[in-house]
Amino acid sequence: MIRRYKFGSPMDTGAVLRRLPAESTPMPFFSVTRNEGSVSFACALDEDDQIFGLGETVRGINKRGHLYRSWNMDDFSHTESKGGLYASHNLLLFSGKKRLFGVYFDDPGEVTYDLGYTRMDSVAITSVNGDLNVYIIEESSLTEICHAFRGLVGRSYLPPRWAFGYIQSRWGYASDAEVRTVVKEHRDRHIPLDGVCMDIDYMDHFKDFTWNPEQFPDLHRLTDDMHDDHVRLIPIIDAGVKQEAGYDVCDEGLEQDYFVKKADGKPFVGAVWPGRSYFPDFLREDVRAWFGGKYARLMDEGVEGFWNDMNEPALFYSEESLAEAFEKADGLRGQNLGIDGAFELTATFGGVANNAEDYRRFYHRVGDRQVRHDKVHNLYGAMMTRAAGEGFRRYDESKRFLLFSRSSFIGAHRYGGVWQGDNTSWWGHLKLNLQMMPSLNMCGFLYTGADLGGFSGNTTEDLLLRWMQLGVFTPLMRNHSAQHTRDQEAYRFSRWEDMRNTITIRYALLPYLYSEFMQAALEDGMLFRPLAFDYPLDGMACRTEDQVMLGSDCMIAPVYEQNACGRHVYLPEDMLLVRFRSAQDYDLVPMKAGHHWVDAQLTETPLFIRRNHVVPLAAPAEWTEAVDASRLTLLGWIDGDVSATIYDDDGISAQVRLEDGLSALTVRVQDGTASAACPGREVDASRIIVGEQ
Ligand code: MIG
């Protein structure tokens, strides 16, 4: 059951698709107070209450115990003290002995969450602008709440199957030759690969929808050659449009009045990579249609996937913020600066980027109203994603394209995925990657992953290898790193063979992962779930923060500590440990419910399969199209007959129906041995373990 409560005059954020009447009775669970425009929602917490949700945020899966803030921000330092990152996913789930409900704050502006920070036993959530719809969702389980929520906000984006392949990326690939080298190095060593991301350096002076004519003299030829090699190019598109007379995107945007404007009616100018830039007013449908249509330029060259960046929007400075900073600095010039003055001076320039004042300097057109940016700030990236997604549909509605964005808001989950932004090559961020997976899934973002190996800072061989051991399970499996950091492609390391072997596991599991992903997407479910969702009556499972459920049959518990040779794992039920060294080399260890130390050497990837479930494994392949899903080896530990379903399709058609892709898999046990059947496939049951061990 979902009920809507209206506060102030909310606008349509595009997140919610179902129109529910506003309730006239007071909102349950929270006491509401209004204060100079803002609205606060407060409630008390019992000792055992847990709070899930908030999508892309730092800290644990249970969000209780800290402050969070929905305010999309380009921030490359994902430390524990950060209230938010690039996205606003205002969904919370409260779970305890006395309550079970979800609450969604459909608010495009700033929202703050005090979830047991000021007082451990109380919550206070504040909408700064006070214009919002609040949805209260009551169902019988956490999983059901998320399912009902998805019914409200719409089905998740479907990527093409090739997007589940391994993707290599680096801020710095700047030429045709460099891209070809990256691909060759992978192919020569048989390291599987399906995509290469092109970061801003492919562009001509950082202009969207252009490419450097000297470095990429024949882009179509490059995409064709790559395609022949089963590799797709995935160029980046930034939100800011370079200010340059003669650059058609700039000229058209000015002529048609498509950019966000200041109070005086002049277009707002902010600086990003190309220097002074304009910002398309993505909140307008006509602007989305225009900008979304531009992607065709690269698609005409054979491109089938994109990533949208800098769409919080990130601002290095505005003319105004820079002028103020210079003025302040001038005022301090020549003075004997004490500690306060010195800090004031450095903070002045540090604060020029993504400056709160700048976000109040420009306006969007919403219907016939001008709305100041800060009131709708958190929608900007989502609307850019929507522009691209709608553009792809117009370009070819029969096909799926890859799209993932940095900034997002619920609603954008219908148009694309997200990557988890500029993490650091820290062990803690491997764990954060794991913990964000279920939280993002709750909010509808199923196609996601983090920069494997870490974006900022220098990775290490063991960190990258361990991170890949998580990455083999995340839908977006991309190795990406920043400019000026240590080279991070698998082939740069002495342990590249171990990395290759790890990546092969992903390809062997592709039939399973794709099947589970598509079923989750088409049935409004989640691919990754906290253990609390599946074992709500198991107190230990409910508090487990470093293991997550994957699909309907598995649990993962990656090693995320330096120099560890295994880890503690809690099994809420009997499970079969598959200790992978590669797609073909693995041990099967039946394990009883309870606490275990699980050995996992640096080269070993553990996967846990629930007892009486089976997971199919394909032969190793070097690209997704080469994965042969018609011949599968089944892994499992079963006591009797088991039936399951596998979903598959052509991997690219946009029109898919669950019914059309499902095949029944049946496993029979007779005289202690298993045999299996699946129409149209060869299934090998010889690795299935039967009965008490
Ligand atoms: O301010 O395009 O998160 O993945 O490599 C940096 C350069 C801009 C931020 C993205 C990152 C990308 C980088 N971009």
For strand 642-647 and strand 662-670, is the pairing parallel, antiparallel, or unpaired? antiparallel
CA of 67 to the centre of ligand 1 (A): 26
CA of 113 to the centre of ligand 1 (A): 28
CA of 302 to the centre of ligand 1 (A): 23
Quote the pLDDT of residue 339: 84
Q: Looking at the DSSP assignment, which residues form a beta bridge with residue 156? A: none
Quote the pLDDT of residue 622: 98
Quote the pLDDT of residue 73: 97
Tokens 């969007």 — which residue?
Answer: 364
Pocket test residue of 78, 86, 236 for ligand 1, highest count of atoms within 8 A of CB: 236
Is the C-alpha dihedral spanning 547, 548, 554, 560 positive or negative? negative
Residue 326 parent element (H or E): helix 319-332
CA of 378 to the centre of ligand 1 (A): 19
CA of 272 to the centre of ligand 1 (A): 11
CA of 312 to the centre of ligand 1 (A): 12
What CA–CA distance (Å, rounded) separates 496 from 461? 9
Closest ligand 1 atom, residue 170 Cα: 5
What CA–CA distance (Å, rounded) separates 472 from 478? 10
What CA–CA distance (Å, rounded) separates 490 from 57? 28
The reply to whether 2-138 and 513-690 are identical in fold is: yes
Pocket test residue of 422, 481, 485 for ligand 1, highest count of atoms within 8 A of CB: 422
What CA–CA distance (Å, rounded) separates 364 from 372? 6
How does 639-652 read in b/e, with b if 16+ C-beta sit within 10 Å?
eeebebebbbbebe
| Tokens read off for 535 | 């074992």
CA of 482 to the centre of ligand 1 (A): 7
Pocket test residue of 234, 272, 307, 310 for ligand 1, highest count of atoms within 8 A of CB: 310
Closest ligand 1 atom, residue 451 Cα: 4
CA of 441 to the centre of ligand 1 (A): 23
Angle at 499 between CA 495 and CA 501, to 5 degrees: 115
Quote the pLDDT of residue 342: 87
What CA–CA distance (Å, rounded) separates 455 from 433? 12
Read off the DSSP letter of residue 21.
P
What CA–CA distance (Å, rounded) separates 343 from 348? 8
Write the CATH number of the domain with boundaries 513-690.
Answer: 2.60.40.4040
Closest ligand 1 atom, residue 171 Cα: 5
**CB-based contact 572:593 (threshold 8 Å):** yes
What CA–CA distance (Å, rounded) separates 292 from 79? 34
What CA–CA distance (Å, rounded) separates 440 from 452? 17
CA of 504 to the centre of ligand 1 (A): 28
pLDDT 10s digits, 574-630: 999 999 999 999 999 999 999 999 999 999 999 999 999 999 999 999 999 999 999
| Residue segments in the chain with a per-residue pLDDT below the cut of 50 | none
Quote the pLDDT of residue 341: 84
CA of 174 to the centre of ligand 1 (A): 14
CA of 234 to the centre of ligand 1 (A): 14
Quote the pLDDT of residue 285: 98
Closest ligand 1 atom, residue 483 Cα: 5
Q: Which residues line ligand 1 (CB under 6 A)?
A: 171, 199-200, 236, 309-310, 406, 421-422, 480
| Tokens read off for 324 | 């103020």
Pocket test residue of 309, 404, 476 for ligand 1, highest count of atoms within 8 A of CB: 309
CA of 561 to the centre of ligand 1 (A): 27
Closest ligand 1 atom, residue 421 Cα: 3
Distant-in-sequence, close-in-space partners of 206: CB < 8 Å, separation ≥ 6: 200, 238, 242, 272, 273, 274
Quote the pLDDT of residue 693: 85
Quote the pLDDT of residue 514: 98
**CB-based contact 402:163 (threshold 8 Å):** yes
Domains of the chain, by residue range, sit at: 2-138, 513-690
What CA–CA distance (Å, rounded) separates 684 from 674? 9
Closest ligand 1 atom, residue 480 Cα: 4
What CA–CA distance (Å, rounded) separates 416 from 157? 5
Residue nearest atom 11 in ligand 1 by C-alpha distance: 422
Asked if the 2-138 domain carries CATH number 3.40.50.2300, the reply is no
Closest ligand 1 atom, residue 406 Cα: 3
Altogether, the residues listed in the chain come to a count of 693
Pocket test residue of 56, 199, 205 for ligand 1, highest count of atoms within 8 A of CB: 199
Quote the pLDDT of residue 315: 97
